[in-house]
Structure 1
Amino acid sequence: MTAGETVSGLLELTRPVNVIAASVLTFIGAFVAGGIVDQPFAVAAAVGATGLAVGAGNAMNDYFDREIDQINRPDRAIPRGAVSPRGALVFSVVLFGLAVLLAVSLPWTAIGIAAINLIALVAYTEFFKGLPGVGNALVAYLVGSTFLFGAAAVGDVGPAVVLFLLAALATLTREIVKDVEDVEGDREEGLNTLPIAIGERRALWIAAALLAIGVLASPLPYLLGYFGAVYLVLVVPAVLIMFGGTVQSFDDPTVGQSWLKYGMFLATLAFVVGRGSMELGLF
């Protein structure tokens, strides 16, 4: 492999789209808490720490999953030889170190959230991923907690709690669908994921029920006065896309979880625009 292919492989390990998405959620958490103007350096540190930690966690996940990825994801960086397992592990440790350096500059509440999340990221693949539902719930917490982390970096976490719950429910739904998609490789590796433990159809029905709760709760940011009416305009198609993805998952989990991802991104946009409209007094 050339140096360029290795660099590309290292970048791939971080899952840049996931890094950007998590960083945006942290920014929104700070935005909702009203701190992006008064505390720009704290916001930047929180966003940077989130991106680095997520990238590190994804790289470490690929390190631990290198054998199962030979079955489920042979095109990933480690299985195809773009990055060595040792290189991925060292890269992950460096990113974690940089994330810690940024996080310790923040208030104690944010540091506490960061410490819990860093431990969870390291422990996820080795200890929790193969436990039915537990690994899924941990990932859902980590995604939702980015809102809390961003808010804690600048002040009150209260307004971000609802966003945490909505993001966690949507993520938990997608994680279960992803496990259904990966049943063959997970069973080969001896993992006991939720679809393997209770059956694929039952797992998908649980995912659908969780999403239904999220759908019912989605108007809360507007009703509580955190977001303007434009939030509702954007969150409705996001909810419809995620609902369609859940239905599609019963026939094709790969397509279904992709729809869920796009719906989650649109919901994130709804959070940004909804809060921005409130700040500007538009809607």
Structure 2
Amino acid sequence: MAVGETIRGLLELTRPGNVIAASVLTFIGAFVAGGVLDNHLEVAAAVAATGLAVGGGNAINDYFDREIDQINQPERAIPRGAVSPRGALAFSFALFGAAVVLAVTLPWAAIAIAVINLLALLAYTEFFKGLPGVGNALVAYLVGSTFLFGGAAVGEIGPAIVLAVLAATATLTREIIKDVEDIDGDRAEGLNTLPIAIGERRALVVAAGLLVIAVIASPLPYALDYFGVAYLVIVFPAALLMFYAAYESFEDPTASQTHLKYGMFLAALAFIIGRGALEIGGI
């Protein structure tokens, strides 16, 4: 196997898109807490630690999922032979190690969140992924906690809590829809995911219900004076897009996942602009 293909495979293991997204959420958590300018070194360490930990978590997930991926995702790095299972495992531990080195430079609250998240990442695929709803909820917590981690890095976790709950709820919806998409491979592997346990349609109803709750609660940061009117202007189309994704999931779970991800990214943009506009001009 060529070195270039191996390097490409290692990069794929990290899911660069997920790494970037999680790192951005950590930055948003710090930004919303109002501590970016005064704590730029802590913010940089938190953002980098998040990216490394997420990359390590994705790599170790692919290691444990290598047999399922032979069915669901044969083009991934391990099934196609770009990276060996042992190589993927070693790579994930190297990323985790680098994340720990950065995390221990942060305040105690951030370190506590980092330790909990690291244990959760290590345990997810091996112990929780196949339990109906439990693995989904764990992933949702991990996404939401990136906001908390960013806030804790600058010593102010309060404003990030609402954002963490909203992000976790939207992520839980997406994870359930993803399980519907992957139901054939999961059933062949003997996993007992939520769609397998209660049926695909009921699982999608649960996912849609959770998303409706998240969308209804989305004005809460404005009501709590964390963001200005600019937040509402941007979060409204994000809410519409996520509503459409929930409806679309009953016919096309794959397309629904994509649209839901776009909606979540747009909501994240609303957090940034909403806070920035409030600080600059009170808008």
State the distance in 1 between where 2:3 and 2:238 align: 40
Corresponding residue of 1:278: 278
Identity %: 75
Matched, 1:263 2:272: no
Corresponding residue of 1:231: 231
Deviation at residue 2 of structure 1 after TM alignment: 1.1
Corresponding residue of 2:175: 175
State the distance in 2 between where 1:143 and 1:159 align: 16
Corresponding residue of 2:29: 29
Name the SS for the 2:170 alignment partner: helix
Unaligned runs of 5+ in 2: none
The residue type paired with residue 4 of structure 2 is G
Corresponding residue of 1:126: 126
State the distance in 1 between where 2:232 and 2:21 align: 21
The residue type paired with residue 242 of structure 1 is M
Instruction: Spell out, residue by residue over 1:100-121, the C-alpha distance to the aligned partner (whole angstroms, 9 max, x if none).
Output: 0000000100000000000000
- Which is worse superposed, 79-88 or 113-122? 79-88
Corresponding residue of 1:17: 17
- Structure 1 residue ranges (4+ consecutive) displaced by more than 6 angstroms after TM superposition: none
Deviation at residue 281 of structure 1 after TM alignment: 1.6
The residue type paired with residue 189 of structure 2 is E
Corresponding residue of 2:57: 57
CA RMSD of aligned residues (A): 0.7
Matched, 1:138 2:144: no
The residue type paired with residue 116 of structure 2 is I
State the distance in 1 between where 2:97 and 2:267 align: 31
Corresponding residue of 2:47: 47
Instruction: Spell out, residue by residue over 1:181-204, the C-alpha distance to the aligned partner (whole angstroms, 9 max, x if none).
Output: 000000000000000000000000
Deviation at residue 282 of structure 1 after TM alignment: 4.8
State the distance in 1 between where 2:31 and 2:185 align: 40
Deviation at residue 67 of structure 1 after TM alignment: 0.3
The residue type paired with residue 233 of structure 1 is V
Name the SS for the 1:227 alignment partner: coil
Deviation at residue 97 of structure 1 after TM alignment: 0.1
Unaligned runs of 5+ in 1: none
Corresponding residue of 1:74: 74
State the distance in 2 between where 1:199 and 1:214 align: 23
State the distance in 2 between where 1:71 and 1:202 align: 24
State the distance in 2 between where 1:76 and 1:92 align: 16
The residue type paired with residue 266 of structure 1 is L
The residue type paired with residue 117 of structure 2 is N
State the distance in 1 between where 2:74 and 2:245 align: 25
Deviation at residue 240 of structure 1 after TM alignment: 1.0
State the distance in 1 between where 2:142 and 2:241 align: 23
Name the SS for the 2:140 alignment partner: helix
Deviation at residue 233 of structure 1 after TM alignment: 1.0
- Which is worse superposed, 267-276 or 50-59? 267-276
Deviation at residue 279 of structure 1 after TM alignment: 1.6
State the distance in 2 between where 1:24 and 1:32 align: 12
Instruction: Spell out, residue by residue over 1:91-145, the C-alpha distance to the aligned partner (whole angstroms, 9 max, x if none).
Output: 0000000000000000100000000000000000000000000000000000000
Provide the TM-score with structure 1 as the length reference: 0.99
Deviation at residue 34 of structure 1 after TM alignment: 1.0
State the distance in 2 between where 1:188 and 1:113 align: 35
Name the SS for the 2:22 alignment partner: helix
Provide the TM-score with structure 2 as the length reference: 0.99
Deviation at residue 273 of structure 1 after TM alignment: 0.9
State the distance in 2 between where 1:28 and 1:256 align: 25
Q: How many residue pairs are counted as aligned between the two chains?
A: 283
